[in-house]
Structure 1
Amino acid sequence: MAIQHIISKRIDPIFAVSIGLAAAFTRINREEKEKGRTTGESVDVLKRRWRLAWQDFGQEKKI
Structure 2
Amino acid sequence: MAYQHIISKRLDPIFAISIGLAAAFTRINREEKEKGRTTQQSIDVVKRRWNIAWQGAAEETKT
Task: Give the structure with the larger helix fraction.
Answer: 1
Percent sequence identity is 78
Aligned length: 55
TM superposition shift of 1:59: 1.0
Q: What amino acid is the match of 2:55?
A: Q
Considering only CA atoms, is the larger Rg found in Structure 1 or Structure 2? 1
Does 1:27 find its partner at 2:27? yes
Q: Secondary structure at the match of 2:25?
A: helix
State the Cα deviation string for residues 7-62 of structure 1 (Å, max 9, x = none).
Answer: 710010010000000000000000000000000000000000000000011113xx
List structure 1 runs of 4+ shifted beyond 2 angstroms. Answer: none
Does 1:37 find its partner at 2:37? yes
| Distance across 2 between alignment mates of 1:28 and 1:10 | 29
Structure 2 runs not aligned, ≥5 long: none
Q: What amino acid is the match of 2:23?
A: A
Structure 1 runs not aligned, ≥5 long: none
Alignment RMSD (CA, Å): 1.3
